[in-house]
């Protein structure tokens, strides 16, 4: 059974291939667009059968080159920039491409697992439940979140969520995110700031109900994120749209304090104004309700934030290393 991993050179995709390799699986086709970025380094040390650029893969798929030859498509490929302003690009890349892959998978009895996002929840006015009855009421705050929400809604409208597994990833961080620029986690950016300046800059709060740095997010270590993803390959009869997080939100202050601790440094935080263009698109709180995931049978406990950051900083960032073989 061959497995396609789109976005296979990205953060989640490359780390998922790492986990598959640890399970003895290397019948993998990696699909991505490497371009001029450094994310090719995420594939070094990985074992896979072939690499195909995303445009060439879609063309080959539609021409029937993979009929009866694929067992699973793990679709992690997307533009993941929450500040991307080209709505047409996001719809083409995150919505239309996903629909083509999904339709092919359904028609060819191929397991389809794809990445959605916690960005679909917007400001959290409807809570963070992955119950299908809640999804239509969600109002994303940015175009990236909307492009993911649009695909979730397409599945629901067609009853196709029962034929696949959608994973609403919350704030994933860890090794192999180095190519992501401004979309890197605050752990990685904070680590660089500490090395360079001896301090970390965080956005001030622009809401009276949150003190500076006390905004909360559900931070999920990449090793837990890919383990949760593997659960849906190991259990192919489990379908639907699921939150992928810890259900334990932590503050930005706690996150950066843990980063200082992992580097054996004394905390030194200063707060800067949030850019005006981000203020109406900023999530002040996220918390994954993972009741559905646990009910489906996933029993492992996510890595505590401080332990995850220590692992990331000391095993990878300080050694300038990747999550490889």
Positions annotated as catalytic residues are 144, 180
- Tell me the backbone φ, ψ of residue 160, rounded to 5 degrees: -85, -5
Burial class (CB in 10 A: 0-12, 13-18, 19+), 229: buried
- The residues near 254 (Cβ < 8 Å, ≥ 6 apart) are 305
Q: Return d(Cα 204, Cα 251) in angstroms, integer.
A: 13
Contact 141, 123 (CB under 8 A): yes
Residue 111 CB-half CA count within 13 A: 21
Q: Return d(Cα 98, Cα 275) in angstroms, integer.
A: 32
Dihedral sign for Cα atoms in the order 102, 107, 108, 110:
positive
Contact 174, 223 (CB under 8 A): yes
SS3 90: helix
């Amino acid at each position: 059974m061959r497995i396609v991993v789109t976005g296979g050179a990205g953060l989640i995709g490359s780390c998922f291939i790492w986990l598959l390799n640890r399970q003895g699986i290397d019948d993998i086709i990696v699909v991505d667009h490497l371009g001029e970025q450094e994310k090719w380094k995420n594939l070094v040390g990985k074992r896979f059968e072939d690499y195909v650029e995303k445009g060439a893969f879609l063309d080959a798929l539609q021409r029937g080159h993979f009929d009866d030859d694929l067992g699973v498509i793990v679709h992690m490929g997307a533009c993941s920039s929450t500040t991307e302003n080209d709505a047409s690009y996001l719809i083409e890349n995150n919505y239309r491409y996903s629909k083509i892959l999904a339709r092919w998978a359904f028609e060819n009895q191929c397991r389809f697992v794809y990445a959605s996002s916690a960005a679909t929840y917007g400001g959290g006015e409807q809570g963070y439940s992955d119950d299908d009855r809640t999804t239509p009421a969600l109002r994303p705050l940015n175009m990236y979140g909307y492009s993911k929400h649009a695909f979730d809604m397409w599945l629901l409208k067609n009853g196709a969520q029962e034929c696949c597994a959608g994973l609403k990833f919350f704030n994933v961080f860890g090794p192999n995110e180095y190519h992501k620029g401004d979309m890197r986690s605050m752990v990685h950016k904070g680590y660089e700031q500490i090395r360079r300046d001896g301090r970390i800059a965080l956005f001030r709060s622009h809401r009276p109900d949150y003190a500076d740095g006390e905004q909360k997010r559900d931070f999920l270590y990449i090793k837990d994120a890919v383990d949760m993803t593997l659960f849906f390959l190991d259990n192919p009869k489990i379908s639907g749209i699921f939150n992928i997080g810890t259900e334990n939100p932590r503050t930005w202050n706690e996150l950066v304090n843990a980063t200082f601790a992992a580097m054996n440094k004394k905390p030194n935080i200063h707060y800067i104004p949030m850019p005006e263009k981000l203020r109406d698109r900023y999530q002040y709180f996220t918390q994954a309700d993972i009741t559905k995931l646990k009910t489906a049978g996933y029993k492992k406990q996510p890595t505590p934030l401080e332990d995850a950051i220590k692992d990331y900083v000391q095993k990878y960032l300080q050694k300038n290393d990747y999550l490889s073989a």
